[in-house]
Amino acid sequence: ATMVLVSCLQRCIQLVLLPVYILVYLGLWDAFYKKVFPYIMAKLAPIYNHKVHKQKQELFSNLRQFAGPGGQLRLLEIGTGTGTNFQFYPAGCRLTCTDPNPNFEQFLRKNLSENPHLQLERSLVASGENLHQIAAGSVDVVVCTLVLCSVSSVDSVLREVLRVLRAGGAFYFLEHVAADRSSWTHFWQKVCDPAWKCFGDGCSLSRETQKHLEKTKFSELNLRRIHVPLRWIPASPHIIGYAVK
């Protein structure tokens, strides 16, 4: 009965958003939205950052302990977007940024200019599933926040993370995930998922990312669930932590 109700409500949303679905069907939506999405994120990311500021500060507080032998920290961020994590990275950090959407570039540059304590080495147009431009074992830390919800294959991204990390390096993550299956939040996640993917650049509300992390061959996994108060958005359950190669 629940699945029937979910399906009916999905159809209602699709009816309301019919013009969007026509553009998706014609293959016109993606190219248009990839240009608009960075402007939306430039407005929304600071609001989200304010809500999780304390958690991010705590998460990134031990980044320096993963610095290489020379004391420098080589950090790769997957899905950098507008660069909202830059303020949390330690001074002198050697930064490589990747994002599949080149339209984020102007916002990325603006954020870099506001964070002169960082040293940008490279900014690459690349997806997390294919980081072939980055050598194996060449980075100390990989960071990925609110990205694994929208990649085509979480397992492929995590395989690339393990490949580019040096032995003893760390993968830092903060991701919204599926709520408990018996909860109303999960019900609304399933209802909103198809439409959400259109407006969230492929983002899924009900992905169980923790299961992918648990089965990846990290030597150590530090993971906890937190609740982020996001009004009217069924993406409040999050996982946060880091894993060591």
User: What are 4-32's pLDDT values in tens digits?
Assistant: 888 898 889 888 888 988 888 888 899 99
Q: What is the pLDDT of residues 153-194, one digit of tens each?
A: 999 999 999 999 999 999 999 999 999 988 888 999 999 998
Confidence at residue 3, expressed as pLDDT on a 0 to 100 scale: 86
Mean pLDDT over residues 41-52, rounded? 93
Residue 214 confidence class, pLDDT cut points 50, 70, 90:
very high
Is a pLDDT exceeding 90 seen at residue 70?
Answer: no
Confidence at residue 235, expressed as pLDDT on a 0 to 100 scale: 87
Task: Record the tokens describing residue 68, joined without a space.
Answer: 């290489």
Confidence at residue 114, expressed as pLDDT on a 0 to 100 scale: 95
Q: Among the CATH numbers 3.30.950.10, 3.30.110.30, 3.40.50.150, 3.40.50.10540, which is that of 1-244? A: 3.40.50.150
User: So where are the chain's domains?
Assistant: 1-244
Q: Please count the other Cβ atoms lying within 10 Å of the Cβ belonging to residue 17.
A: 16
Confidence at residue 217, expressed as pLDDT on a 0 to 100 scale: 93
Confidence at residue 56, expressed as pLDDT on a 0 to 100 scale: 97
Q: What is the pLDDT of residues 73-130, one digit of tens each?
A: 999 999 999 999 999 999 989 999 999 999 999 999 999 999 999 999 999 999 999 9
Q: Do residues 103 and 34 lie in contact, with contact meaning Cβ atoms separated by under 8 Å?
A: yes
